[in-house]
Structure 1
Amino acid sequence: MEIYSTKSDLQAHLQTLREAGKQIALVPTMGALHEGHLSLIREAQTVADIVVCSIFVNPTQFNDPKDLEKYPRPIENDIALLQSEACDILFLPSVDEMYPTANEHWSIDLGELDTLWEGAQRPGHFQGVTQIVYKLFHLVQPHIACFGQKDFQQVMVIQRMIDLKKLPVTLNICPIVRSEKGLALSSRNSRLSEKGKEEALVLFNVLDETKNNFANTSIEQLQQEAIAKLNTQPEITLEYFAICETRTLQQATDKDNNKKYVALVVAWIEGVRLIDNMLLNM
């Protein structure tokens, strides 16, 4: 695996590969890699000749400086994991490399995706996400970009940016990787105790019940039952549970056979904010 820390060195190498006709896939990450990230690397290897993984803890998408400070950065372990998966290229830039100009302006019209759910809870978050992903797309010029379904709203935001900017990149949305019991793997899970991980399984159980009952139960009843169950768990502080249409993430009220739906949940356990979702009729 080749490791680059500057844009110029990475671009020079990628240009050679493009001239050789290679298909390039990008897997953007913030490090603290786990099996979920590695599944994206493997998926990228099946659809492209060259896989580029980026590790960059992007400051513009953090609302809370303490959250940015606490974000895990086990870079030596991350490198070892990528090498074990035979990843071709790691891009490991500094903040100054990606943001050479202070207070760089960026704004993109994400519509209600910018203000619903995660957009409401974390103002400016998706502007920061699209800012760095656009930089990476411009730099790497991938044919394919692999993102995980776990951050579902983020995936919809990236797709909107691709559409708005008319970028020549295909978004490959990869399934959530879960533990044997169903917990969605996440970099933040490393901050949970074993007891906390057990308690967090209720998120998966509620999502799974919602999916299993979706065909024969009204959306209103499904939401009420899920929220009631989550609120009875003393170790969990529920932030939101919602059933939404997948593309707009507007909260659904009635079912339309021509639309696809997703259940979204966010809850706090042991001071850790956990995000999960499940596609309901796909």
Structure 2
Amino acid sequence: MLTMEIYSTKNELQDHLHTLRKAHKKIALVPTMGALHEGHLSLIREAKNSADIVVCSIFVNPTQFNDPQDLEKYPRPIENDIALLKGETCDILFLPTVDEMYPSSDEIWEIDLGELDNLWEGAKRPGHFQGVTQIVYKLFNLVQPDIACFGQKDFQQVMVIQHMIDLKQLPISLKIGPTVRSEKGLALSSRNSRLSEKGKEDALVLYRTLEQTRNNFGQKSLEQLQQEATASITATSTLTLEYFAICETRTLQQAMDKDNTKEYVALVAAWIEGVRLIDNMLLNM
């Protein structure tokens, strides 16, 4: 039976990957922050289907957290994560420390993300996408994958990563896995573990509202859909809505009028029981 290799240093990982590349192995990378769930595991399976070797990284990246308390509370069940990855026959786990990834405390990183850095998640979490691209670029340089797998649940993040790949002209194919949901429809998230059962039940209004918006997309104006969605979510007293927006998928600019030649996505972010949840749904794809 094949065993999963676990590396905590860049040098060890690079040495092993060098050997695999010399054997012409196709490599896929699945970057994660741990607290793995079925959404992550579906990406591991997608990677297994697309490459010879799957590298999963687990690293809770401090530079993408603009709230120190959120960083501190982020779940880190590493033993369970390792067991789950072994169950999916992942080939390599990269498990570095903060010092390993950020040896210099005064490292400077800035990338031009255009409006993607100022809209929605970019506006609500200043510096977040600079931190995301900083660590993903480090991992891309380290692993040099042929394929990188990310989930659709973090739709804006996927757009940001694709923008960086294009900007840096990286020879990496981005694969986007569909959002994996609970039986009732809640988008799986590592943060869901912090919700009570009632909180998970109340949070289902996000999925129901997205689904309703998609179902009514052909019959109602964008303004009507926006108003109905906002009313539906704010009617749930335990939720605090941050935003609900219908956007053109390519730019994520909020759409005012429909254009049949364009594709649209609904984005939502809300707080419940001190936990911030995001979700999205493609509307006409």
Q: TM-score range by the shorter chain?
A: over 0.9
How far residue 44 of structure 1 moved from its aligned partner, in angstroms, is: 0.5
Matched, 1:114 2:117: yes
Question: 2:256, 2:174 → 1: CA distance?
Answer: 29
Matched, 1:257 2:264: no
Question: 2:197, 2:87 → 1: CA distance?
Answer: 27
4+ residue segments displaced more than 6 Å: none
How far residue 123 of structure 1 moved from its aligned partner, in angstroms, is: 0.4
Question: 2:141, 2:262 → 1: CA distance?
Answer: 33
Match of 1:134?
Answer: 137
Matched, 1:61 2:71: no
Match of 2:154?
Answer: 151
Match of 2:100?
Answer: 97
> Structure 1 residue aligned with 2:17, among 2, 14, 17?
14
Match of 1:281?
Answer: 284
Question: 1:185, 1:161 → 2: CA distance?
Answer: 26
Question: 2:131, 2:91 → 1: CA distance?
Answer: 27
Matched, 1:234 2:217: no
How far residue 259 of structure 1 moved from its aligned partner, in angstroms, is: 1.2
> Structure 2 residue aligned with 1:178, among 176, 181, 195?
181
* Matching residue's letter, 1:211: R
1:204-243 aligned at under 5 Å gives the runs: 204-243=207-246
What residue ranges of structure 2 are gaps of 5+ in the alignment? Answer: none
Q: Deviations over 1:62-114 (max 9, x none)?
A: 00111111111110000000001100000000001000111200000000000
Question: 2:263, 2:239 → 1: CA distance?
Answer: 28
* CA RMSD, Structure 1 to Structure 2 (Å): 0.6
Match of 2:190?
Answer: 187
Question: 1:182, 1:97 → 2: CA distance?
Answer: 38
How far residue 233 of structure 1 moved from its aligned partner, in angstroms, is: 1.0
Match of 1:70?
Answer: 73
What residue ranges of structure 1 are gaps of 5+ in the alignment? Answer: none
Q: Deviations over 1:117-167 (max 9, x none)?
A: 000000000000000000000000000000000010000000000000000
| Corresponding residue SS for 1:216 | coil
> Structure 2 residue aligned with 1:161, among 164, 168, 185?
164
After TM superposition, the structure 1 stretch with the greater mean CA deviation from structure 2, 250-259 or 104-113, is 250-259
Question: 1:108, 1:200 → 2: CA distance?
Answer: 34
Match of 1:124?
Answer: 127
Matched, 1:196 2:199: yes
Identity %: 80
Question: 2:274, 2:64 → 1: CA distance?
Answer: 20
| Corresponding residue SS for 2:35 | coil
Question: 1:95, 1:258 → 2: CA distance?
Answer: 45
